[in-house]
C-alpha cells in the first residue's frame, strides 16, 4: 500500500450516508494496478481510506456500500471496468444451514466458543503462521511475514465494533481457531478467519460462518457480511453455499443509497 501509519498526513471530517462524521480520514490512495489475487487473467487496484474515530454506525454505512476493514484501513475494489468482486451478505433471520453445513457445525460442536475484544499474543501469532504456512504449501500463497506490530494494526486495532471469536479445545485449552469480526446494530462483518490445519478435515471454516450467523441472529443483527464473492475463484467459492444471500448492486458513493438484491437460488442438481 506504500503508506505507514506514522506517515499519514491530512486529517479532515468524512461523511457517509449523508451524515456529517467525526471520523478522521488520514489518507486516501488508489493502488497501482497489480496481478489480481482472485482471477489470474485480471489486474487489481484497491481504493484505500485510512481513517480513525469511525463509529459503529458509520462503519455500518460503509459496509452497506461495499467497504471492508483491516484495522484503520478501509478498502473496496477500484478495478473498473472489472466488477467481479461482489459484496455479499446473509439475512440472518432467513438463513437455514444446508445438510453439509449442519454436519460441519456438529463436528466442531465440542469446541468452546468465546466472543471478546481482539488481542495479540504469541498463541495467536503461532496459529496464524501455522495456518498461513499450510496455505503456502497447498495453494501456493506468498509467504506471510506477519509481525506482532502488523497483527496489532490489522487484527487488533482499537475500534468499538471490533470483536474476536475464539474456538478452544475444552480439555487441553488449546486455541484452534480465531475469527476477526465487527459488530454494529444492524451488521455483523466476518473479516478474517484462521485455524489449526488439523481441524480442516472437520470443516471448521464452514462451522465458523454458521456460528457467526447464529451469534448475529441471537443478538438481533439482521445481516452478516461475508466480504466479496468472486465467480471463478476457488478459494471464495464456499460463500455461494450460504443461502439466501444478497448482493450489492455497484459500488455506491457515500451520498448514494445502496441497493442490495436477492441472489438467485442455487441450482438444484437433478437426479437421472
Which helix (H) or strand (E) segment holds residue 260: the answer is: strand 260-262
pTM of the predicted structure, to 2 decimals: 0.89
**For residue 208, what are the CA distances in angstroms to 29, 193, 195, 200, 203?**
33, 8, 10, 12, 9
Give 74's strand partners.
49, 69
Neighbouring C-beta atoms of residue 190, cutoff 10 Å: 22
- Return the pLDDT at 136: 84
Q: Output DSSP code: residue 239.
A: G
| Beta carbons within 8 Å of 3's beta carbon, 6+ residues apart | 27, 29, 48, 50
Q: Which domains are seen in the chain, by residue range?
A: 10-85 (no CATH), 87-262 (3.40.630.30)
- Return the pLDDT at 5: 35
Q: Output DSSP code: residue 148.
A: H
**Nearest one of 40, 7, 34 to 234, comparing CA atoms:** 40
- Average pLDDT for runs of 10 along the chain of length 272: 37 50 88 93 95 97 98 95 94 98 98 98 97 84 87 97 99 98 99 97 98 99 98 92 97 96 72 34
Strand pairing category for 187-195 and 223-229: parallel
| Beta carbons within 8 Å of 173's beta carbon, 6+ residues apart | none
Q: Any idea of the CA torsion for 57, 254, 151, 221, to the nearest 10 degrees?
A: 40
- Return the pLDDT at 17: 56
Say how far apart CA 184 and CA 68 lie, in whole Å. Answer: 14
Amino acid at each position: 500500500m506504500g503508506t505507514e501509519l506514522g506517515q499519514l498526513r491530512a486529517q479532515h471530517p468524512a461523511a457517509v450516508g449523508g451524515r456529517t462524521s467525526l471520523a478522521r480520514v488520514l489518507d486516501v490512495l488508489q493502488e497501482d494496478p497489480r496481478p489480481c489475487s482472485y482471477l489470474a487473467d485480471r489486474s487489481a487496484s484497491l481504493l484505500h481510506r485510512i481513517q480513525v474515530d469511525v463509529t459503529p454506525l458509520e462503519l455500518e454505512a460503509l459496509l452497506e456500500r461495499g467497504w471492508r476493514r483491516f484495522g484503520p484501513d478501509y478498502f473496496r475494489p477500484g478495478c473498473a471496468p472489472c466488477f467481479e468482486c461482489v459484496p455479499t451478505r446473509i439475512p440472518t433471520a432467513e438463513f437455514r444451514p444446508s445438510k453439509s453445513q449442519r454436519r460441519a457445525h456438529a463436528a466442531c460442536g465440542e469446541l468452546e466458543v468465546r466472543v471478546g475484544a481482539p488481542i495479540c499474543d504469541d498463541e495467536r501469532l503461532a496459529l496464524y503462521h501455522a495456518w498461513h504456512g499450510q496455505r503456502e504449501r497447498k495453494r501456493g500463497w506468498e509467504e506471510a511475514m506477519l509481525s506482532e506490530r502488523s497483527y496489532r494494526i490489522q487484527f487488533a486495532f482499537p475500534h468499538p465494533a471490533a470483536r474476536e471469536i475464539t474456538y478452544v479445545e475444552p480439555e487441553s485449552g488449546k486455541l484452534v481457531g480465531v475469527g476477526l469480526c465487527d459488530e454494529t446494530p444492524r451488521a455483523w462483518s466476518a473479516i478474517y478467519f484462521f485455524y489449526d490445519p488439523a481441524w480442516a478435515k472437520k470443516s471448521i471454516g464452514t462451522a465458523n460462518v454458521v456460528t457467526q450467523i447464529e451469534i448475529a441472529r441471537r443478538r438481533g443483527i439482521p445481516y452478516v457480511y461475508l466480504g466479496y464473492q468472486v465467480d471463478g475463484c476457488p478459494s471464495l467459492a464456499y460463500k455461494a453455499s450460504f443461502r439466501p444471500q444478497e448482493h450489492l448492486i455497484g459500488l455506491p458513493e457515500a451520498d448514494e443509497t445502496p441497493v442490495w438484491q436477492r441472489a438467485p437460488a442455487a441450482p438444484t442438481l437433478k437426479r437421472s
